[in-house]
Chains A and B, each alone.
Chain A
Amino acid sequence: QKEVEQDPGPLSVPEGAIVSLNCTYSNSAFQYFMWYRQYSRKGPELLMYTYSSGNKEDGRFTAQVDKSSKYISLFIRDSQPSDSATYLCAMSGRETSYDKVIFGPGTSLSVIP
């Protein structure tokens, strides 16, 4: 079993739709949960960061972590064509939050105008 599972998509939605991206994981030691966005031919960039269980909101983006179910989600409201990218969930269980990050395989998202 992989440490982090993520539906690779591709996912295609119309502009303005609500997008839900999800990951499951197996290692209960993970404490820090991140979502990265990666545009084509670019490196990943950090989008959201959450410690332990709970919700975090930043503009149109909401990250949710449910440690009891080992399940994390990213919601994008009012999706825009500029949101078209690959979204990678990532997590870490080390003493410091960003050390040795474990990535999911990524979900490819296309937002159609």
Chain B
Amino acid sequence: EAGVTQFPSHSVIEKGQTVTLRCDPISGHDNLYWYRRVMGKEIKFLLHFVKESKQDESGMPNNRFLAERTGGTYSTLKVQPAELEDSGVYFCASSHDLASEQFFGPGTRLTVL
């Protein structure tokens, strides 16, 4: 069974540009989570989808971040415009249900110059 995949693995952009990160969860997993780890800090929760609906987006830092999960399959996280402090590793995770283990993807390393 394929795991959670994320694309790209690494993105380098300039401040003010737009970047879109993609996450493909494990097939059949209704729950999809986004997390990020900025330099020197712990991994922090961003938001949680159940199918195509946002269940909890309390961790989204500001309105420059937009997450979507059209059709309840893959998800995208867009940062527009990117700022220097957005640099870090963005992880996606999926789970079958809320009582099940979250499986993490390898992450997308975002560098904003």
Contact = CB atoms under 8 A, between A and B. Distances in A.
A108 to B, nearest CB: 13
Interface residues of A, number: 21
B105 interface: yes
A97 interface: yes
- Interface residues of B: mostly helix, strand, loop or mixed? loop
- Interface residues of A: mostly helix, strand, loop or mixed? loop
Interface size class of B (residues with CB under 8 A): 20 to 34
B22 interface: no
B106 A98 contact: no
Interface string A70-106: 0000000000000000001000000011111111111
B99 A100 contact: no
Interface string B14-30: 00000000000000000
B93 A97 contact: no
B48 A100 contact: yes
Contact of A41 (B56, B103, B106): B106
